Structure 1
Amino acid sequence: MVPSGEDLSSAGRRVGAVAEDGRRERIKNKGGLKNHIRRRLVCFCGGAAGEHREAVGGGIPQMGGGEIDRAPTHLVIMVNGIIGSAQNWRFAEKQFLKRLPQDVTVHRSRCNGNLLTLDGVDVMGTRLAEEVLSIVKQGPKLQKISFVGHSLGGLIARYAIAKLYDPGLPEKPSEEDGSHEDPDKGTKRLKKGSEGKIAGLEPMNFVTFATPHVGSRWHRQIPMLCGVRLLEKTARRSSRILGRTGRHLFLDDNDMGRPPLLVQMVKDSDDLHFISALRSFRRLVAYSNVRFDHIVGWNTSSIRHQDERPKLKAHTKISGYRHIVRVEPPKAVNIEQDASLDFDMKTNELQEAMIDSLNKVPWERVDVSFHKTIQRFMAHETIQVKTRCLNSAGADVISHMIDNFLL
């Protein structure tokens, strides 16, 4: 029997439909394969593709999934380190939003990524300050602010808060009660209810992870150089490879005859109140690697003198946090004492004076050790959980930060 034209047409349509379904399936499988490969590559390349998508998205802060009529009032700014990006804080952001969905709005700073981190601490700090102001304008219900910085990000955040600091209304000295302000003290009394603000918000937490607070110039503060002074001198001479940032970290900058920037940042000046801005926060925390951080030394990251470092054998695990070996509560400080900072003094004396100045604010110190995990060789990244599949051992450190976060 010879098929009719109608039958042939119907059969042709069925064959075409089958072919089209097959083509769609191949496209679907191909796309699925591409997505699978992309997800796997994120573990090794730091999520560059994801970072691009976030940048296209406009950099809007991530909010918790709280009630519509209760927008979070606490802004958390997260700052990446050198040659880093906002993607480095992705794990920590997810933990914040999972644990505190109705309390915090998290913004991973995007203004200082990759090669932009070589522009210098002052330039990056100014960019961060401008970024924070733009975020605050978008959130009229915001009331509080906190900063979390990793490595160089801690220095960037310290500069930014000095730019954003508003000291409030100073209380005029009264001759009747015998109070007289000494202009050389650098400390002003504030009227009740007018404490300092950061970007117009109440400062809450200032947290740093493996940050070289007094720079990398000092002996044994770049552990990978093994304390060999010849290598340390060579590293200092080569610091220009890292642009203005390298000169800042090694205190080799001398802009307009001024002291190095990191020296300026350990005390208040006429235009930037670095110490007062830090003091305005209710909680200051320095997380530091005890061992295996090959980039930032224990002294500079924990803001301790050499003889103040606790003995390793005295370390004990903190219950619930496998890799935290010591928590040192903040000490009482004398805000009136003013350490003399003369850049002509000997190197060791300058380092000690910088540490003394930074200790005019009460730091809580958290010592971390990854010595029982293979990830110890990447301790500088693991303390932040820079990449989940390579630095997962640091998850308990992030949990400790969130568990103790002031809201």
Structure 2
Amino acid sequence: MADYIGGDVEADHLCVLVHGLWGNPNHMASVAKALRSQYPRDKLNILVAKRNAGSFTYDGIELGGERVCNEIEEELQAVESEGGKIKKISIAGYSLGGLVARYAIGLLYARGVLDNLECMTFTAFASPFLGVRTPLRGWPNHVWNVLGARTLCMSGRQLFGIDQFRDTGKPLLAVLADPKSIFMCGLAKFKRRILYTNIVNDRSAVYYTTGIAKTDPYTDLDKVKVNYVKGYEPVILDPTNPVSPAPPKPKEPLVANLKKWINRVPFILAVAVFVPLGLVAFFINSAVQTVRSSKRVMLHEKGLAGIDVESYRVDLWIKEMREAVEHAYEDLNSSQNQEYLGLSDGDSGEETDDSSNQEILALERKQSHPHQPTLALAPYQFAAINALDALGWRKYPVWIHNDRHSHAAIIVRMEKPTFEEGKVVLSHWVNEEFLI
């Protein structure tokens, strides 16, 4: 890693890399290596954020963003003290790191740091812009939404949208996407906003949230023809025409179907044996990490964790102050009874007494297409999609074929033969999208 990070004093462009939940700087090694293979040290300075490593990612997006902002400001000062001058900045976040990076960008904007920098590229790799709350129905998904939100400390509450950020009455994810917030104003300064989203096998952050989408055209890839970006087949889909109707296929013989089920038996047995043991360990660890995270947050809030907290607690809204605190968004349990929005006002089953939320759901329900129905997202998620899309994004769907852990493979989180397709993603990014 040391061979790829940093830069010479002549480098005037800083690229910041931010890892994800449970992550550490080494997870971004392949990303840094891809950048360095294309851009030498006298052209690009690479900073891999390190103060949110491991269990520190439990402490929430706000604290993580403050730490990253602090690291960026220190790096800018360090370069200047050595006689250099950073004039351009790019930021790339992976998974939760994309949200942490967006928070840090808002702080940099509010503190005037971005006024002196040319904002080049913001990139998100498999980042859950809309959180990780599942819109699917059924008790397993209900359990996931309830327990998941309460086993990842503050980060979990924020990712599942059940927190209320400061005095806003909104989840932090909604505040991050508020068009009038410092976070959106800062993000708008970047010349290019890019995202790479897995279309299959990403169990950490599924397509709708990483792709900022209301629908999912990839639920049954047997029924569509996939179109790829030329030169990056068969990994990166053409963002302008990712899929088209597929010609009908002949039915597979019974023997072929039986063979598929036989091949799945080892996996099913492994799940039956190891998942219960893993869940016990996970919940025990979650309880321990909750206590530790609470202590770190308390020290951070008191200014005893090495950061002057008050200097980062800036006004969240720049264009105009909100006149009143809006009603709290519906609890995560309120939309668990369906997978998609109904096509009429009477068949949705949503329970919300907030008139603005009802208007949002009614509009989305009206616009839902029968062949590609709108997912049953929460009102704040629909609002976030509309606001984020208004900024303009270059969205690249990614199909990792060779590994079922596509969330890790998309950035080659470790050197592993089945992660090689992720190098195609990184190659596309540095050669086609990254602005130097």
Report the TM-score, using the length of structure 1 for normalisation: 0.67
1:84-120 CA-to-partner distances (Å, cap 9, x unmatched) read 0110111121121121103211111101110000000
**Quick check: 1:399 aligned with 2:424?**
no
Aligned to 1:285: 194
Aligned to 1:382: 409
Contact in 2 for aligned 1:326/1:368 (Cα 8 Å) = no
1:245-287 CA-to-partner distances (Å, cap 9, x unmatched) read 0000001112555211111111145xx5111111100000011
Instruction: Check 1:245–1:199 CA distance in 2 against 1; reply closer, same or farther (3 A cut).
Output: farther
Counterpart of 1:98, as a letter, is S
Q: Percent of counterpart pairs with the same letter?
A: 28
> Alpha carbon RMSD of aligned pairs, Å?
2.8
Question: Equivalences for 1:5-404 in 2 at 5 Å?
Answer: 61-63=5-7, 71-101=10-40, 102-140=42-80, 141-166=85-110, 198=114, 200-219=116-135, 227-238=136-147, 239-256=149-166, 258-269=169-180, 272-306=181-215, 313-322=224-233, 323-328=235-240, 343=329, 344=354, 345=357, 348-371=378-401, 373=402, 375=403, 377-389=404-416, 391-403=419-431, 404=433
The 2-side partners of 1:387 and 1:213 are apart by: 24
State which structure, 1 or 2, has the greater radius of gyration over its C-alpha atoms.
1
The 1-side partners of 2:202 and 2:411 are apart by: 12
Contact in 2 for aligned 1:132/1:199 (Cα 8 Å) = no
Aligned to 2:275: none
The 1-side partners of 2:165 and 2:122 are apart by: 28
**What displacement does 1:349 show?**
3.1
SS at match of 1:134: helix
Instruction: Check 1:311–1:285 CA distance in 2 against 1; reply closer, same or farther (3 A cut).
Output: farther
Counterpart of 2:90, as a letter, is S
1:343-393 CA-to-partner distances (Å, cap 9, x unmatched) read 24265333212211111201110110012x2x2x01000001100225222
1:126-148 CA-to-partner distances (Å, cap 9, x unmatched) read 11101110011112321100011
SS at match of 2:396: strand
The 2-side partners of 1:405 and 1:307 are apart by: 27
Aligned to 2:264: none
Name structure 2 gaps, 5 residues minimum. 242-318, 320-325, 330-353, 359-376
The 2-side partners of 1:328 and 1:301 are apart by: 17
**What displacement does 1:308 show?**
7.7
Higher RCO (C-alpha 8 Å, min separation 6)? 2
The 2-side partners of 1:229 and 1:275 are apart by: 35
Contact in 2 for aligned 1:299/1:309 (Cα 8 Å) = no
Aligned to 2:316: none
Contact in 2 for aligned 1:209/1:287 (Cα 8 Å) = yes
The 2-side partners of 1:148 and 1:256 are apart by: 26
SS at match of 1:388: coil
SS at match of 1:326: coil
Aligned to 1:187: none
The 1-side partners of 2:219 and 2:239 are apart by: 11
Contact in 2 for aligned 1:218/1:351 (Cα 8 Å) = no
The 2-side partners of 1:244 and 1:157 are apart by: 17
The 1-side partners of 2:378 and 2:63 are apart by: 28
1:14-56 CA-to-partner distances (Å, cap 9, x unmatched) read xxxxxxxxxxxxxxxxxxxxxxxxxxxxxxxxxxxx8xxx7xx
**What displacement does 1:321 show?**
1.4
SS at match of 2:150: helix
Aligned to 1:32: none
SS at match of 1:306: coil
The 1-side partners of 2:204 and 2:133 are apart by: 12
**What displacement does 1:228 show?**
4.5
1:197-250 CA-to-partner distances (Å, cap 9, x unmatched) read 62732110000011110111241xxxxxxx343222212221221110000000
The 1-side partners of 2:137 and 2:220 are apart by: 23
Report the TM-score, using the length of structure 2 for normalisation: 0.63
The 2-side partners of 1:382 and 1:201 are apart by: 32
Instruction: Check 1:324–1:199 CA distance in 2 against 1; reply closer, same or farther (3 A cut).
Output: same
The 2-side partners of 1:105 and 1:154 are apart by: 19
